[in-house]
Each structure stands twice: as C-alpha cells, then as structure tokens.
Chain A
Amino acid sequence: EAQVTQNPRYLITVTGKKLTVTCSQNMNHEYMSWYRQDPGLGLRQIYYSMNVEVTDKGDVPEGYKVSRKEKRNFPLILESPSPNQTSLYFCASNPGQLTDTQYFGPGTRLTVL
C-alpha cells in the first residue's frame, strides 16, 4: 500500500530534550515536506526537500533541522524543543515537479512541557 508513515504518532517531552520525528514514504517520491498545524493558522511549511541531500527552508524553519540521506526518509529534528513547538506535525511527499498532489502522513502530535 502506498503511504507516508510517521513515528511517533504522539509524543510528550520536556523543554530542551532533543527529539526526532521520522517520516518515510514507499512511493519513490522525490519531494518531501514537513508542515506544522496550529489552530487558526492552517498548515505552515517548515522544511522541504527536492531530492537526496537537497533541502531548503519553508516558512517557519526556526528551531528545526532536517536531513535527506535516503530518498524514502525525511526526519524532522528538534535539537532543543521549546513549548512553542507544541503542535501537530505532518510529513508530505509528492512524485515530482509536474504533479500537483501531495500525499500526507497521519500526523505526529507533539507536546513540549
């Protein structure tokens, strides 16, 4: 089954404790993105990647890092989480430049205390 998976689905952590949210897609897509969803703000892009070893900032990159060492994986790293990073995070992928559809993962609900 074609899908985007994220882990963990739920995470409660404390300020300053490094964490990684994993994202994996099995569709051989070139493009992957991370979004955060906050009430009243919709989804905002954090980072995106156009291919292996090619990443760029989205609208709200502060406090986040990403890497793309393999085509299928695009982890989101919070080196020192803060309470304002409490949010619902979505990973997304799409096949290539000539397509419009992004496929979304199920989401990761993160709470930083």
Chain B
Amino acid sequence: GNSVTQMEGPVTLSEEAFLTINCTYTATGYPSLFWYVQYPGEGLQLLLKATKADDKGSNKGFEATYRKETTSFHLEKGSVQVSDSAVYFCALRLIQGAQKLVFGQGTRLTINP
C-alpha cells in the first residue's frame, strides 16, 4: 500500500543547530511530496512541496529534495530558531488532482534557546 514513514520524535535541538527530519515513502505510481507544519494550537500549513523526482522544495530556510532512487524526502534546515518549534508532517499525494493526502505520523520538534 501507500505509506509515509517519518523519523521518530520528539526531536530537541539547540538554537542554530542543523536539522534533519527523515521521511521515506512507499507508493504506486509517482507521488507529489509535501511537508506540512503544525504550530501549537493551530491547523496544518503547507511548508514546502515537490512534484517530481529531483525537485527541491524550499521555504523559510527549510529544504527537501525528492529522491526517487531512495524514495525519500528528508527535511533540512541549516540553523533552527526557537520559532521553528512545531510538529512536522511528511505527506504524499498519488496523482495530481487526487484529494487524499497520506501522512506520516508527525515529528515533534522543540528548539531550546
């Protein structure tokens, strides 16, 4: 079946540290890949996306590259801030126009000053 696996959390880092949150997927066909972020008490917001192999999505200093050969979409940021503390979800969508997002379990990130 189609699924997304994220690294186990929670993750705790110091401000200005380098961040990687791993995400791998299993899918039939060619999915689009997404990272969503959920700040405390809020709904999910799209952070970045990539729709085909080797695409790099980027936003707010975060980056992720669609790697078809390793079926991965790892999230990275070079220098995290306290305001990056949130829950991060990796997700896939199977075909353009399909309405269902398949989510990973989420990774809670806490950044300490």
Residues of A within 8 A of B (CB): 4, 31, 33, 40-45, 48, 50, 58-59, 90, 92, 94, 97-98, 100-102, 104-107
Chain B: how many interface residues by the 8 Å CB criterion?
A: 24
Q: Which residue of B lies closest to A97 (CB)?
A: B97
CB distance from B55 to the nearest CB of A (A): 12
The answer on a CB contact under 8 Å between A104 and B45 is yes
Which of these binds chain A: B64-72, B73-81, B102-110? Answer: B102-110
Across the interface, which residues of A come within 8 angstroms of B104, CB to CB?
Answer: 42
The answer on a CB contact under 8 Å between B4 and A42 is yes
Question: Is residue B27 contacting chain A, with contact meaning CB distance below 8 A?
Answer: no
The answer on a CB contact under 8 Å between B103 and A43 is yes
The answer on a CB contact under 8 Å between B105 and A40 is yes
Q: Which residue of A lies closest to B90 (CB)?
A: A42
**What are some 7 contacts across the A-B interface (CB < 8 A)?**
A33-B99, A42-B104, A43-B44, A43-B103, A44-B103, A50-B99, A101-B49
Within the complex, which residue of B34, B41, B89, B101 is in contact with A45, where a contact is CB–CB below 8 Å? Answer: B101
Across the interface, which residues of B come within 8 angstroms of A44, CB to CB?
Answer: 103
User: What is the bound-complex CA distance between A47 and B101, given in angstroms?
Assistant: 12
Across the interface, which residues of A come within 8 angstroms of B51, CB to CB?
Answer: 100
The answer on a CB contact under 8 Å between B46 and A101 is yes
User: What is the bound-complex CA distance between A105 and B43, given in angstroms?
Assistant: 5
Interface membership of chain B positions 21-50, coded 1 if the CB is closer than 8 angstroms to chain A and 0 otherwise: 000000000001010100001111110010
Known contacts A40-B105, A106-B43, then 8 further A-B pairs from the complex at CB < 8 Å, ordered by chain A residue: A31-B99, A41-B105, A42-B91, A43-B103, A45-B101, A102-B44, A104-B44, A106-B42
User: What is the bound-complex CA distance between A94 and B97, given in angstroms?
Assistant: 10
User: What is the bound-complex CA distance between A43 and B93, given in angstroms?
Assistant: 13
User: What is the bound-complex CA distance between A106 and B32, given in angstroms?
Assistant: 24
The answer on a CB contact under 8 Å between A100 and B44 is no
**Known contacts A42-B89, A104-B43, A107-B43; A98 and B97 CB within 8 A of each other:** yes
